[in-house]
Amino acid sequence: MQKQLAKMKQSLFDQGYLDEQFIQLEELQDDANPNFVEEVVTLYYRDSVRLVQNIEQALEKNPLDFAKLDSYMHQFKGSSSSFGAKKVKTECTQFRDHCRAGNADGCKRTFQELKKEYATLKKKLEVYFQFARQAGPVEKACRPK
């Protein structure tokens, strides 16, 4: 089961969903905090709901307040990169580039992509953590190739 778990993780890395930061967090897990990464990810998805709503509302305004949007996205990027959400982070960066260029359509388009990546990652990690709980604790965090 550990092998399957490692394969799942490898796949998430190969497809670019996660980066090294995820491994750094897994390495912090110990007997006292065996599900630290799952806890972090749960916290992320809980805390970011309000932020997503704020951004959606802000994108409905006319004209757009690019400074406000940039500030929201700065927060979003910070949280997303803190646990290694690579694709989400990339979309955040793209969005901020559009904000700086004053490109409203670009912001709206990128935000749709961001939401897709955000939702996809959530589903994939839910499966991963479910599997991880069944597989039990590993002695060391396994680094993907």
Partner 1 sequence: MAGEMAGNSTKKKISALVVDDDRLVRRIHGMLLTRFGMETNAVENGKEAVDLFASGKCYDLVFMDMEMPIMDGLKATQALREMGVSSTIVGVTSRTQEGETQAFMEAGLDACWEKPLTRDGIISLLDQVAKKLL
Residues in the chain: 145
Shortest Å distance, C-beta 1 to partner 1: 26
Closer by beta carbon to partner 1, 32 or else 105: 32
For 60-144, strand residue ranges (E) read none
Cβ distance to partner 1 smaller for residue 58 or 73: 73
Shortest separation between residue 9's beta carbon and partner 1, angstroms? 19
Number of H helices and number of E strands within the chain? 6, 0
For partner 1, the binding residues (CB under 8 A) are: 21, 24-25, 27-28, 30, 33, 36, 39-40, 43-44, 47, 71, 74-75, 77-79, 81-83
What is residue 143's DSSP assignment? P
- Quote the CA–CA distance of 141 and 106 in Å, as a whole number: 39
